[in-house]
Amino acid sequence: METIPAKTIVTKMKKPAHWFGADYNMNIYRGCSHGCIYCDSRSICYRNPDFDTIKVKENALQIIRDDLRRKVKKGVIATGAMSDPYNPLERELHLTRNALELMNAFYFGVAIDTKGTLVTRDIDILSDIKSHSPILVKMTITTFDDALSAKIEPNAPIPSERFSALKELSESGIFCGVLMMPLLPFISDTEENIENILCQAKNAGAKFVFPSFGMTLRQGNREYYYEKLDELFPQMKQKYISAYGTRYTCTSRKAKKLWDLFINLCNQHELIYNMQSITEFYKRGYESHQLSLFD
């Protein structure tokens, strides 16, 4: 296990765009072992060339405790933006779990991005936090197909296991749903994929599905992705080069049609899909409570 130094871990979100209404951001780990072929965090701009190796920030819990103690304003802490908080090391180290315990003690809420089914281990602490602050769990699911997932996300839990984790979270009263992103052009941007993800999300008790009909590619990430396309989907790289050149945003050529289908299915399944609405729902009922406690 490698460690890296850190001076602060819980940092204030930059305005104006707060991801799902989070006030702060927290990454205890650096790097990821899921092996997702499309991950934007491989981009050179993030200066993490050894991205597949998970590193742990030194004295993380002490730093987090000090960070939280100094925060004048309570709020929601997002985690999972650059590394999954429920990676394989977490099973033994319990750093994410211990950080949640600190958030609970200091009366902060949490918004979690993950592909890790280990999140269900911490339902007890999430339920405690829910008694005083907002809780949101976003499970990233890019395909309903376990076989395709094994290709494009080789070391992550398969989608069927992620849907099972969502069901367990939902049945425990945790507000949760799906990040349906990215949808890879020419690979997973299909009507069948969207129909199945939304159906299984509904069956699992998800309250929302937030989509992206495409992906991003920039230096570092693009080269890695194209290398994997040559390995896994021969002739596919040329489709990307022809369609997108060196563009950063690679929107599905079928985005309009898929979006219309997505909206209709969300309405049919009573799933929220707008970020502002999702934020309002998971924070509902906490505003006056937090004002009375901390203002």
Tokens representing 108 are 């902060």
- The pLDDT of 89-105, averaged and rounded, is 98
Q: How far is CA 40 from the centre of its chain?
A: 13
Number of H helices, E strands in the chain: 12, 12
Looking at residue 207, its amino acid is K
CATH 3.40.50.1000 fits 2-290, yes or no: no
Task: Report the predicted TM-score, pTM, of the whole model to 2 decimal places.
Answer: 0.94
Q: Among 63, 144, 132, which Cα is nearest to 98's? A: 63
Q: How far is CA 204 from CA 169, 175, 186, in A?
A: 9, 12, 27
Residues 201-218: tens digit of each pLDDT: 999 999 999 999 999 999
Q: What is the pLDDT of residue 293?
A: 40
Residues recorded for the chain: 295
Q: What is the pLDDT of residue 18?
A: 74
User: Does 15 have pLDDT greater than 70?
Assistant: no
Cα(54)–Cα(73) distance, integer angstroms: 31
Q: How far is CA 264 from the centre of its chain?
A: 24
Residues 24-46: tens digit of each pLDDT: 999 999 999 999 999 999 999 99
User: Does 156 have pLDDT greater than 90?
Assistant: yes
Identify whether the C-beta of residue 53 lies closer than 8 Å to the C-beta of residue 38: no
Identify whether the C-beta of residue 51 lies closer than 8 Å to the C-beta of residue 34: no
Q: Among 21, 26, 23, 1, which Cα is nearest to 13's? A: 23
Cα(227)–Cα(37) distance, integer angstroms: 9
